[in-house]
Amino acid sequence: MDRNRIVVEAEGVRKRFMGATVLDDVNLRISLGDRVAMMGPNGAGKTTLVRCMLGFYHIDGGSIRVAGHDPVTERVEVLRHVGFIPQLPPPVKLTLGELLNFVERSSGTPAEAIAQKAREMELDIIKHRQKPFFKLSGGMKQKLLIAIALARKSRLLVFDEPTASLDPRAREHFYELLQGIDYEHAAIYITHRAEELAGLVNREITMDLGKVVLDERV
């Protein structure tokens, strides 16, 4: 395998919370072009693993490299290459204009590129520019977060149940947008709806009790 294509490399990752093992010797490699559906029951460790990749958690054993960097000690380098969509939109009090300013200045993603992605999902950012983010409807918030993540042109896109608060029509638009992603990148979709991702993913990883129990190409 060409090491330059590896985006995520986890070896023997262990994580414990208050004595309970949440990740137990997880080994995983995700390369450019991988579109992974990450599945498993609640509490399987999917979100914890992703949070370790994003540098939110300090792991108790093993190692994780994202884009060749350590997510904790080199978080800025790692996050330059990662676009993330959380499960639920956070109640950010910034206006849309301020949020776009934050994204543009921190990650170098032009606000116009985000606005373009949002328009493709039938969301007019300009009209709502002065509105605080948390006052948008659930669907609008999620659309904007998706537009931001897609506009960032990251090497790794992480979607944590991204369609949880979208209506069926918006969900359809979202999947249409995903079809347009440059798949020289890698993507991880944490999901319980594997059937909706059919045709979008080329790999399925199933986790249970903190372990990867199934990892197959589809």
Partner 1 sequence: MKNLLLISYLDIRESLRSKWFYVYAFVFGGLMGLFFISGITDSVVMGFTGLSRLLLVFMQVTIIILPIFILVTTVKSISGDRESNILEYMLSFPISLKEYYWGKFTGRFVTVFFPVFVALLIGVIWGLFKGGGSIPWGMVILYSLLILSLCLSFLGIAFFISTLVKSHDVGLGLSFAVWILLLAFIDVALIGLMMQNRVSDGAIIAIAMLNPLEAFRIGAIALFDPELTVIGPVAYYLLDTLGHGFLMLYAVLYPILIGGLFAFFGYALFRKKDLL
Residue whose CB is less far from partner 1, 57 or 174: 57
Kindly provide the b/e burial profile for residues 153-163, where b requires at least 16 CB atoms within 10 angstroms of the residue's own CB.
ebbbbbbbbbb
In the window 109-148, what residues touch partner 1 (CB under 8 A)?
132, 145
3-state secondary structure (DSSP) of residue 148: helix
Smallest distance from the beta carbon of 217 to partner 1, in angstroms?
28
By CB under 8 A, name the one of 5, 14, 29, 80 that touches partner 1: 80
- For position 54 contacting partner 1 by CB under 8 A, the verdict is yes
In the beta sheet, which residues pair with residue 214? 206
Instruction: Determine the Cα–Cα distance for residues 189 and 180; give it in Å rounded to an integer.
Output: 16
Residue whose CB is less far from partner 1, 33 or 97: 97
Instruction: Determine the Cα–Cα distance for residues 211 and 173; give it in Å rounded to an integer.
Output: 33
Residue whose CB is less far from partner 1, 80 or 202: 80
Comparing CA positions, the residue from 19, 12, 78 lying closest to residue 51 is 78
Instruction: Determine the Cα–Cα distance for residues 99 and 121; give it in Å rounded to an integer.
Output: 18
Comparing CA positions, the residue from 35, 14, 73 lying closest to residue 202 is 35
Instruction: Determine the Cα–Cα distance for residues 118 and 143; give it in Å rounded to an integer.
Output: 7
Comparing CA positions, the residue from 164, 88, 89 lying closest to residue 132 is 89
Residue whose CB is less far from partner 1, 51 or 153: 51
- For position 84 contacting partner 1 by CB under 8 A, the verdict is yes
- For position 18 contacting partner 1 by CB under 8 A, the verdict is no
- For position 192 contacting partner 1 by CB under 8 A, the verdict is no
Smallest distance from the beta carbon of 57 to partner 1, in angstroms?
5
Residue whose CB is less far from partner 1, 1 or 18: 18
User: With CB under 8 A as the contact rule, which of the stretches 23-31, 34-42, 91-99, 114-122 interacts with partner 1?
Assistant: 91-99
Residue whose CB is less far from partner 1, 56 or 214: 56
Residues in contact with partner 1 by CB under 8 A are 51, 54-58, 75-77, 79-80, 82, 84, 86, 88, 90-94, 98, 101-103, 105-107, 132, 145
